[in-house]
Amino acid sequence: MQAQRVQALRTIYRYWLTLLFVAVIAQIAGAAYGAFYAAQKLGDQKGPDEQKVISEKAFDHGFGFHTGFGYATFLGAVFLLVLALAARLGKRRVLWALAVPVAVAVQIVLAWISEAAHGVGILHGINALVVFGLTGYLTGQAWRAARAPVAPAATAGDFAAGRRRTLQSSADCHAEGRGFESHHPLFETPAFERGFVV
């Protein structure tokens, strides 16, 4: 029963990770939409470029999905870590799962800082690629592990059969004494007949 529960949690983890990877792609698409939406609003205005402005309301409308969905993605990343712990994936895979909410949290902090220091926005874009690559790698790893053939568990009968084979091999080895005798026939012809004339 315990093994079935763990297996079910691992299946949920795999599908949740896949959804999180899709959410990261949607986040990147949302950022692109916001940027081009703002550009279109500026392009629709007449007059010199220096006089074209965009209201904060219009800007928030363009980036509203990207901003709101970013916080939802962070909550999804935290839940992914909880699933990894519950599914007992092992220390290495749990640490990889921990890296996801950490990377998303860094992404949010960089977005906050970028509002006052626009140069930090470069790091925001680079870290987005890190989150994308990390979730994509973990998703592929999870599906490969699920499709890998599972070796059958050893039973008591297998252990007994292996022990009998070991005992039989030991008996054959000591059948002629202590096992140091050669099982190959010795040469009986003289050395000069074999071409080793001195």
Q: Is there a domain that residue 165 lies in?
A: no
What are the residue ranges in the chain where pLDDT is below 50?
Answer: 180, 186-187, 192-198
Residue 96 maps to a domain: yes
**pLDDT reported for residue 50:** 67
Amino acid at 93: R
Residue numbers of the domain that contains 134: 2-147
Predicted confidence at residue 39, as pLDDT, reads 81
Domain count, the chain: 1
User: Which pLDDT score is estimated for 170?
Assistant: 57
* Domain assignment present for 27: yes
